[in-house]
Amino acid sequence: MPPSAERRKGFRPHYDQRGIKERLTAAVGGQARHGSGIAIASRMEGTDVTTKKAERLRLDAATEELALRMWRQFIRPYRGRLVLAILLMGVVAATTGAYPLLIEKSYTMFEAQDPRMLLLVPAAIIAVTTLKAVSLYAQTVMTAAVVQRVITDVRMAMFGHLLTADLAQLQAAPTGTLTSRFINDVEQIRNALTRTLTGLVRDILTVVALVGAMFYLDWLLSLIVFVLYPLAAIPIVRIGRHLRRVSRQTQAQVGDMTSLLTESLAGARMVKTFHLEDYERRRAADAFEANYALTMKATRQRSRLDPMLEVLGGVAVAAVIAFAGWRMATGAGTVGEFTGFIGALLIAAQPVRAIGTLNTALQEGLAAAQRIFELIDRKPAIADRPGAVPLRVERAGIRLEGVQFAYEEGAATLKDLTLDVPPGSRVALVGRSGAGKSTVFNLIPRLYDVTGGRVLIDGQDVRDVTLASLRRAVAVVSQDTVLFNDTVRANIAFGRPDADPGAIEAAARAAAAHDFIAALPEGYDTVIGDRGLKLSGGERQRLALARAFLKDAPILLLDEATSALDSESERLVQAALDRLTQGRTTLVIAHRLATVRTADRIVVMEQGQVVEQGTHDALLAAGGAYARLCRLQFGEEGVAAG
């Protein structure tokens, strides 16, 4: 049996309430025997009813709140275009409602053998259909423009939030999950808006026009239809509520599936190297099967509506035909009126069915909107305090004073850390992985906030100054070079988008990057590919240095900027780094101790604390933690030579 078949055979729903009740009843029954188990099961049944009722009330309140918020925040700015689109829908509805009247008039003129029918009826039909066609086109384009503007605004609101979100929030959510919000969730909203604006408004207006024609032709037959069709509202509402819950689960699962695919494809080299194809195939198959189960669950709910409406429509037509036949047999009605009425009823069947199925699309869209608003409403913890002032950089001295920090509660990363980085000096942080070096880097530009103590720049607490002024004062060059699928020029100017071409070229020359840039097919206008993959590691690193040169910030953070480079690239990058650090306060993270021997001061960290600091020679002579690190990297002979 193939793996997918085994999974299908063994698939169990996540929310099997009946199974939970049985297990709980059995567990309690083992202690209190039969009577108490039955009592508990009965109480749980009653609890289910209460819970479902409360859930329905919450769902109804949330629906109203979500719809009002979508209107206020995203749709209302385009109400002028929306009004015009609705007027066009009114024209479409009116022309549709004219069809049964034209049928009735034509039949009457045929019976009377009126000679005017050869000219008037065809001319009227052409005029009505032309007016409807033009109005339908204009309304469709206008509505699509409104919907796309709303969708664009939703995406911009999401993206704007993510740009200001805390780093911890961004790192907690897999990239695939966030991507799914932009694509799948927004697509659900787009579908719901399109169906609501075109379907609900236009179809309701069309049904109103056709109902008017039906009452004009025969009010008794119209009453029969009006008694039958409202019965469909009960199952439609129930199915819609259930579908909204399923849709929310499906959208969350699609996010997980997108994240899995992103991880697998991004790590293709690792997957192949470790021969993990079968493992990844099983992971993907599990995700696809879960998506299949949820999709089919939603499909079964959604597919129940059309058959219900089909049967109800058939019952209505049968009742009308039976009643109309009886009336004509008694001489109370005409064939023309009956033909026009049946025409109106059949034309109305499509918009009535569309209105009936609209609730499913609306509930799916509301579930997506709820997920998106949850993302947008998450307030960043790292933000400007009330009364924050611009940072005044005079000498660019840095001081960490009694700093404590923990990424997770109960697991301290920094413990009462005090560290001074004098203005214009070059201080290196060394130590084993997990010692807290990168955390220090994250605290200076406020990517995270301290949980105790203070981080000061020229005596100013970084929490009391504006984020914009603080981050303008800091430049970062790390081993993980971040480049974009854009031109060389745009990548260098990333920190200063308004820089002129001369300044960009000067920064590239200072970073020893101008020569290789000039040799590229289009020079500074060459697109370097996703993450700069068209460039070598050394070239990417020099572009990052050029970016730092152009930003010209007084504080420089270097995170192992020469790691993973060949000797020639390292020589070029190191020479550029020496130029870049001149006159700047520089903090360096280094795992390769050979790169920090010339630092003004070396700070050794262990378990979130400073255990010793001094120059390279002084620390070697002390024979402490730094000397042990050197012996691990260079051996006794290497340390002696150093």
**Are 407 and 317 members of one domain?**
no
Q: Please indicate whether residue 207 or residue 377 has the higher confidence score (pLDDT).
A: 377
Mean pLDDT (whole number) for 179-193: 82
Q: DSSP per residue over 275-338, as a string?
A: T-HHHHHHHHHHHHHHHHHHHHHHHHHHHTHHHHHHHHHHHHHHHHHHHHHHHHHTTSS-HHHH
pTM above 0.75, yes or no: no
Confidence grade of residue 98 (pLDDT, cut at 50, 70, 90): confident
**Single-letter amino acid, residue 439:** T
Q: How many helices (H) and strands (E) does the chain have?
A: 23, 10
Q: pLDDT tens digit string along 357-394?
A: 666 677 778 878 888 888 888 888 888 999 999 999 99
**Are 218 and 95 members of one domain?**
yes
Alpha helices, DSSP H only, in 165-276?
Answer: 167-172, 175-180, 186-194, 203-217, 219-228, 233-266, 268-273
Mean pLDDT (whole number) for 175-193: 80
Mean pLDDT (whole number) for 581-591: 88
Q: Please indicate whether residue 401 or residue 568 has the higher confidence score (pLDDT).
A: 401
**Are 426 and 336 members of one domain?**
no
Residue 500 falls inside a structural domain: no
Boundary (domain end) residue, out of 353, 376, 399? 376
Please, are residues 257 and 170 in contact by the beta-carbon 8 Å criterion?
no
What's the confidence (pLDDT) of residue 293? 75
Q: pLDDT tens digit string along 522-550?
A: 999 998 887 777 888 888 888 888 888 88
Encoded tokens for 56: 């329905």
What's the confidence (pLDDT) of residue 402? 93
Please, are residues 95 and 128 in contact by the beta-carbon 8 Å criterion?
yes
Please, are residues 538 and 565 in contact by the beta-carbon 8 Å criterion?
yes
Please, are residues 438 and 158 in contact by the beta-carbon 8 Å criterion?
no
Q: Please indicate whether residue 53 or residue 273 has the higher confidence score (pLDDT).
A: 273
Asked whether the predicted pLDDT for residue 420 surpasses 90, the reply is yes
Residue 140 falls inside a structural domain: yes
Encoded tokens for 161: 């939030």
CA distance 328 to 622: 114
Please, are residues 147 and 365 in contact by the beta-carbon 8 Å criterion?
no
Q: What is the CATH number of the domain that holds 452?
A: 3.40.50.300
Q: DSSP per residue over 70-90, as a string?
A: HIIIIIGGGHHHHHHHHHHHH
Nearest Cα neighbor of 103 from 333, 321, 339, 324 is 339
What's the confidence (pLDDT) of residue 269? 60
Q: DSSP per residue over 520-576, as a string?
A: STTGGG-B--GGGTTS-HHHHHHHHHHHHHHHT-SEEEEESTTTT--HHHHHHHHHH
Residue 192: give the domain boundaries: 77-376
Q: What is the CATH number of the domain that holds 169?
A: 1.20.1560.10
Q: Kind and range of the H or E element at 421?
A: strand 411-421
**Are 333 and 446 members of one domain?**
no
Cα dist. 320→226, 230, 287, 342 in Å?
11, 16, 51, 8
Boundary (domain end) residue, out of 376, 405, 421? 376
**Are 220 and 349 members of one domain?**
yes
Residue 63 falls inside a structural domain: no
Please, are residues 542 and 578 in contact by the beta-carbon 8 Å criterion?
no
**Are 459 and 326 members of one domain?**
no
Nearest Cα neighbor of 347 from 201, 195, 209 is 209
CA distance 235 to 242: 11
What's the confidence (pLDDT) of residue 310? 58
Domain count, the chain: 2
Asked whether the predicted pLDDT for residue 37 surpasses 50, the reply is no
Residue 491 falls inside a structural domain: no
**Are 403 and 344 members of one domain?**
no
Residue 586 falls inside a structural domain: no
Highest mean pLDDT out of 43-52, 176-185, 554-563? 554-563
Boundary (domain end) residue, out of 343, 376, 409? 376
What's the confidence (pLDDT) of residue 18? 36
> Which strands make up the sheet holding 398-408, listed edge to edge?
411-421, 398-408, 452-457, 460-461
**Are 280 and 361 members of one domain?**
yes
Asked whether the predicted pLDDT for residue 116 surpasses 80, the reply is no
Residue 525 falls inside a structural domain: no
**Distance between first and last Cα of the chain:** 65
**Are 204 and 348 members of one domain?**
yes
* Angle (nearest 5°) at CA 334 between 329 and 337: 130
Q: Is 476 exposed, middle or buried (0-12, 13-18, 19+ CB in 10 A)?
A: buried
Asked whether the predicted pLDDT for residue 9 surpasses 60, the reply is no
Residue 534 falls inside a structural domain: no
**Are 184 and 252 members of one domain?**
yes
CA distance 123 to 133: 15
Residue 242 falls inside a structural domain: yes
**Are 466 and 337 members of one domain?**
no
**Are 187 and 313 members of one domain?**
yes
